[in-house]
Structure formats: structure tokens, C-alpha cells
Amino acid sequence: MDLNFRLEARCAETHARLGRFTTTRGEVQTPVFMPVGTVGSVKGLDYVDLEALGAQIILGNTYHLAIRPGIEALEALGGLHKMGGWRRSMLTDSGGFQILSLSGRRKITEEGARFQNHVNGAELFLTPERAVQIQASIGSDIAMCLDHLAPSTAPRQDHEEAMARTTRWALRCLEARTSPRQALFAIVQGGVDHALRQRHLEELAAHPFDGFAVGGLSVGESIPQMYATLEVTAPRLPEDKPRYLMGVGTPTDLVEGVARGVDMFDCVMPTRNARKGGLFVDGGRARINLRNARFRLDDAPLDPNCACYTCQRFSRGYLRHLLVAQELLVYRLLSIHNLSIYLRLMEDIRAAIRAGRFGAFLAAWRAAVAG
């Protein structure tokens, strides 16, 4: 499906760009952050919360949804949008990350990845064709090609083999696609080897994918290595297609990724950290640990400059009490705050690019987080 990606503004000092694309469920403005709902929900929140926060698009995971609730349930209940009541766009990862994260429970062949699943030990065989079929059953608006992801620190030969297999699998995904309503993104691999990255993106860009992702980062390399690799990869991806950085990261990673030409991001960090008491404040420039005893009697909001529901209604002391007591309400409240920080940050970035001041925004951000 052609997403009709349109560029509206560029930063004169960086690779940052402002754009929008359209799925069958509506328009998505970029740069954009996608909250992660791995098994069909963003943990602790419902879709009313996400709509109120301004989430334009969310993410689900093929591997996890194929296990629970399973393809039969997804198809019988009309796909994930109908099951959960989400009316906006959705992207699904293909299960490629689990090839790395569940390396002790899978075997890779040219045909695909055979998993002993982590829930009940039953076999799940993901081939490129099966990954596309499952994502069609989920009903996502954007599907990802099945890819072979190697750790950043793996030997060059491992990356070359994974890269070549990823290309072959991507072409099989392209051939297997049947849904006219679903876009398909290819994933660029190559570790932190800049020459491999360049070779792989050129291989994939020669084919009619609807968008391109940078995969295989934030999996063992240093932050400077990640940024340097992104610097030589994202700006060279096709200009007329969305560019997606998978699984990254902190608010600073988002700002730095936009500066390098990235349009789309996802990460579990805002919600996962929230459930443990890790909160982003000052627009994402700083963090606090709410479990710290110094917040026990604190009647201030989490972030005085945050307009989210949590900050407008509850004090740090009360929220800390709920967290220590393991009251279920706290996971929703803290997740609302962290996602609000991320989604407002993306709004601010878009506004800065539109106004021609992203360079100044980036310089001010770097100065603030440095010290």
C-alpha cells in the first residue's frame, strides 16, 4: 500500500524532516513515536488513554500475538483493531527481534526461524511468508519484513550472513504480501559496520517497499556507535519513504535520531520504566526514581511543567505510596505521564522543524542534558 508519504519541511542544519503519511485509518504526522503494545495493549492503559494522549500509531508484535491470542482468535474476532477498539493506525513487528532475544529457544534455517515458544514450549515456525500472513490476520496498517538480527558485537561474518538472509527474506515477504490495505517495510541490518549498512540499504532500496527501517541498533553497541551508524544510514534511505528506527530509545535518542533523518520510533522504555518508578521529567531532559525516599512527603507534581492527567491531579508523595504498595492504579498513572513526555516531545520537535528552528532546539537540548 502506498502511504503517500509527503515531506513538508526540512532542517537546514541537520537531516531532520517534517512529513506525514496516510494509512487506511488516517493520517500520521512525522516525526512520530509509537507506544508499544506487544501483546495487544499498551500495558496499564486502554485506547481511550492513548487517544487522549495524542498517540497517532501504536505497535504490536507478530511473535507474541501469534502465541496469544493466536491466529484463530485474531481472525474470528476481526483483527486486533476490532478486538481492542483501537481506531487509529498500527504497525506490527515481524518477530525478528525475538530471533535475537530468544536465541536459546530458536533455530534458524534458510526457510525461517523455528521457536520453542516462551509460554508453553509449543513450536512456532516463523517463515517470511508466515510472518506476512500473521500480520494480515492481525490487521495492522504497516507490516515489517521478517529479518535476521545479529548482536551489534557479533563478528563481521555473522552480520554479513544475517544481512544477506534478511534481504532474501524481505523479497519473500514482498512476494507473499496479499493485503492491499497493508504497507510493508524492509529492515536494514549490518551492525555498526558502515560499509555493510551502506551495502544493505542499497540492496533493499532497489525494491518497491513502502518504507524502510534501521534495525539492529541498541543491541549491545555504545551510544556513540549507535549515533555514528545512524548518521551514515538514515539519511541515505529513500527520501520519499518513511524511515523507522526500531526499538530506540530515550528522549535524547529520539532527538538525536530526528537530527539524523529518522521519521518513526518505538520503544518500551516509557511504559516499562514507569512501572518500576522511573519517570522522565523536564520534558524528557532528566529522570527521577520515584522509589527514592526523598519523595515520600513531597506534595509537588511529578513534573510542574507537565500538563498530563497524572501531574495535574496527583502528588509525588501519593504516587510513591501507590508504587511502594504495588497498587495497580499507579502503573496506569505513571505510564500516562511518561508517554505524555514522549508524545509532547515529538510535538515540540515537529513544531521546531516547521518553524525552521530545529537546529536551535537540538543545541539547547544537548546543552541541557550535558549539564
Please give the positions annotated as active site. Answer: 93, 266
Cell numbers standing for residue 241: 519513504
With beta carbons less than 8 A apart as the criterion, state whether 273 and 46 touch. Answer: no
Q: What separation in angstroms does the CA of 240 have from each of 3, 17, 62, 92?
A: 10, 11, 27, 21
Count Cβ atoms below 10 Å from residue 366 Cβ, excluding itself.
14
Which residues are CB-neighbours of 105 under 8 A, at least 6 positions away?
115, 116, 117, 118
In the three-class reduction of DSSP (H, G, I as helix; E, B as strand; rest coil), residue 215 is classed as coil
Cα separation, 147 vs 112, in Å, equals 10
Tell me how far the alpha carbon of residue 228 is from its chain's centroid.
20
Cα separation, 74 vs 25, in Å, equals 19
Q: Which amino acid is at 128?
A: P
Residue 114 region by backbone torsions, left for phi larger than 0, else alpha for psi between -120 and 50, else beta:
beta
With beta carbons less than 8 A apart as the criterion, state whether 185 and 212 touch. Answer: yes
